[in-house]
Amino acid sequence: MTDLSFDDIRALLTRAFVDQDQACGPWHRQEPVFSPDIMNATSAATDAEGFAELVLRQHWANFCRWHVEDRARRKDAGAELIADCTFAINKLNQERNDLIERLDLFLVRALEPILPTQAEGLRPRHNTEALGGALDRGSILALKSFHMLEQVERKGAGEDLASECRRKLNVLQEQRVDLLQSVRDLVDDYAQGQKRPKVYYQFKMYNDPRLNPELYSRRSGV
């Protein structure tokens, strides 16, 4: 892995928020193309550019899930469409969580060599959420902001709705600014030796036919 400084990592995280925001519009016009390494679920990013692409790949999973969930809420949706949407949402949610873990794995590996030595006997302190989870929240906030702006600008929506959506958009944008600052603050905590990074694994069970009783019971005829 390429050696990164704390400043490099802060810059990467800031770039991630910018890239997430800027991708929403173009992706509605044309699907992105990702490198084979990023598409390989077992591969890990090894440098800054690989991490930046991995951020967008994770954002893409959220982007796709957003639109499938919209489709699933159609009043005229039949049982077949609902079933298709449910399977798609489950698959995309699994991808989303797997990619969060890959983001965290890169960041932990990048941070470990530059962390201050911890005093002997001192219990390591961890955050309630790792950086990958925060990037996922940034992705969702970028999508919410983009679609809320669509409603602000939608012709025929009415001024009352546009005003309400404009107020919500301001809140969403403020929350995203706060989130990025919190992410940068957490890197500062790592740099000062106040906290230690860690990968938090989700171990989703519902998609695994060995662990979901609705799947393994039916397969075995129980």
**Quick one: which of 137, 136, 135, 145 has its CA closest to 24?**
145
Q: Which tokens is 204 given? A: 């989703």
Is the distance from CB of 31 to CB of 59 less than 8 angstroms? no
Helix, strand, coil percentages (3-state) for the chain, rounded to 5, are 70, 0, 30
Please report, in tens digits, the pLDDT of each residue of the chain (222 residues total).
Answer: 779 999 999 999 999 999 999 999 999 999 999 999 898 888 889 999 999 999 999 999 999 999 999 988 888 878 888 889 999 999 999 999 999 999 999 999 999 999 999 877 778 889 989 999 999 999 999 999 999 999 999 998 899 999 999 999 999 999 999 999 999 999 999 999 999 999 988 888 888 889 888 878 866 555
Rounded to two decimals, the pTM is 0.91
